[in-house]
Structure 1
Amino acid sequence: MAPTILITGASGQLGKLVLTELLKTTPADQIAALVRRPEAAAEIEALGVTARMGDYTDPAALSAAMDGIEKLLLISSSEVGQRAPQHRNVIDAAKVAGVSLIAYTSLLRANSSPLALAAEHVETEAYLAESGVPHVLLRNGWYTENNVGTAGMAIEHGTYIGSIGEGRISGAARADYAAAAAAVLTSDDAQAGKVYELAGDASYSLNDLAQETTKLAGKPIAYTDLPEADYAGALVQAGLPEGFAAVLADSDVGASKGALEENGKTLSALIGRPTTPWQDTLADVLA
């Protein structure tokens, strides 16, 4: 059977998890994966999934990848600053190919979010609307891994740093968001026109994260709140590019204003189980 579902960014962290979820209920020969590297294609095809080569900057390859596809998961590009034109290429190819549904991974409350990250998501959402292609918005909140991924460094230095103040984050594990994407792509219910605001069931502050890390590490870990410019500077010192450091610092400031807190529990309702407790994700990272 020819593939009918295409996952873009399939070799990335989220894309791999979406494939894992889809394969629980969907025959591998009905799934295709867009990848950029031959070695990634080999990994994908070992699962029985069809690999199609191409990237978001290559319209011809995108057009070829869309052949026979009914449903498309457009995982947002990792190239902040280049996302909007890259996403337009994917949407254009899907429209020409007659794709019947695009699911797009956007940002929590993108249309009202103060985060600088929201701008390209808003632009993409608008382009989707203009395209006329039926689509569903998966407005993903924060990945818990974004915060707990720095636990090792926090233990080494005795503190987490950020600019979030007492702001709270309704984080969920990346696997939770992957399960939501798979649920939407395989649902018998019509999905076109739906907007899902997705976030974890429980929220945490970075002080909460520091306290839990203290328990697990057996040594005192603090949270140090910094002015936005100082935090961005610290991230640059740690080796991040200036532009990306600025985006992360801006995201912390937005979170301090409630931009990453969401109590609707839409994500757990969609996946049919509670979201992964942030404490569990932290414990897994430290293990």
Structure 2
Amino acid sequence: MATEALLKASGLQVSFLRNAWYLENELSYLQAGAQGQDSVYAAGDGRIGFALEREYAEAAAKVMTTPVPKPVYEFAGTPVTYAELAATLQTVTGQAVTFKAVSDDTYRQDMREAGVAPELVEVLLSMQIMMRAGELDVTSSDLADVLGRPVTPLATAIREILAR
């Protein structure tokens, strides 16, 4: 929010595009699940407004060409938990998969045992904490409104990512 305050104070006309979370950020979870491998997460019951990166980009381009844009856009897909993401992935792939909720300490330990660099483990954990705190639980029609169509449904988006 400090960046937003500085930009507002500058006198420039700006629109803030607050993206929830790219589904592509979860590629390792999606690929592992597609191979029937379980994963762990520390986001608890935090809900995340996943959407495809290309949809965020398309919406940003549309906002830039809008004659009078809104001051703030809250972009997100329908918020889901990691457990719901796993269930959708299982439906899409037909693979039995579980994303298991674990404590921060267990998540940290599992990431280190998987060979993730310690400094990256802390970054990944901070993201999980942010999700658990509800910072990506965005309920808004802004993304669909700007796109002029519904946001790609989660199952369809997963299929698209896995087909790449």
Q: TM-score range by the shorter chain?
A: 0.7 to 0.9
CA, structure 1 residues 223+127, in 2 after alignment: closer, same or farther (shift >3 Å)?
same
2:81 to 187, 202, 205: 205
Report deviation, 1:178.
Answer: 0.6
Percent of paired sites with the same residue: 29
- In the superposition, the TM-score normalised over structure 1's length comes to 0.51
Note if 1:128 corresponds to 2:10: no
**Structure (1 or 2) with the greater helix fraction:** 2
Provide closer, same or farther for how the CA distance between residues 199 and 239 of structure 1 changes in structure 2, counting only shifts above 3 A. Answer: same
Runs of 4+ in structure 1 off by over 4 angstroms are none
Normalised to the residue count of structure 2, the TM-score between the two structures is: 0.85
**1:240–1:126 Cα change, 3 Å:** farther
For residues 192-236 of structure 1, give each alpha carbon's deviation from its aligned partner in whole angstroms, at most 9, with x where no partner exists.
Answer: x70111111x22221122222223333310111121233234334
> Kindly tell me: are residues 284 and 221 of structure 1, through their superposed partners in 2, closer, same or farther at Cα, counting changes over 3 Å?
same
For the aligned residue pairs, the C-alpha RMSD in angstroms reads: 2.2
Matched residues in 2 for 1:255 and 1:284: separation?
24
Measure how far apart 1:149 and its partner are: 4.4
Cα deviation 1:236-278 (Å, max 9, x = unaligned): 4445443333232222222223221122211111221111112
Measure, in 2, the Cα distance between the counterparts of 1:225 and 1:250.
Answer: 15
The 8 Å contact of residues 168 and 256 in structure 1, kept in 2 or not, is answered as yes
Q: Relative to 1, partners in 2 of residues 1:155 and 1:237: Cα closer, same or farther, differing over 3 Å?
A: farther
The gaps in structure 2 that reach 5 residues or longer are none
2:73 is the alignment partner of 1:196: yes
Whole-angstrom CA distance in 2 between matches of 1:273 and 1:216: 23
The 1:265/1:256 distance shift into structure 2, 3 A limit, reads same
Aligned to 2:103: 227
Instruction: Specify which of 153, 156, 159 is matched with residue 280 of structure 1.
Output: 156
CA distance in 1, matches of 2:53, 2:26: 12
Residue number in structure 2 paired with 1:110: none
User: For the residues of structure 1 that align with 2:19 and 2:105, how far apart are their CA atoms?
Assistant: 26
Aligned pair in 2 of structure 1 residues 244, 222: CA closer, same or farther (>3 Å)?
A: same
Cα shift readout 1:172-207 (whole Å, capped 9, x = no counterpart): 111111111111111122x3x70111111x222211
**SS of 1:224 mapped into structure 2:** strand
Map Cα deviations across residues 67-102 of structure 1 (whole Å, 9 max, x no partner): xxxxxxxxxxxxxxxxxxxxxxxxxxxxxxxxxxxx
Contact 2:83 2:98 in 1 (8 A): yes
Structure 1 residue 123: Cα displacement:
3.1
Alignment gaps of 5+ in structure 1: 1-121
Size of the alignment, in residue pairs? 163
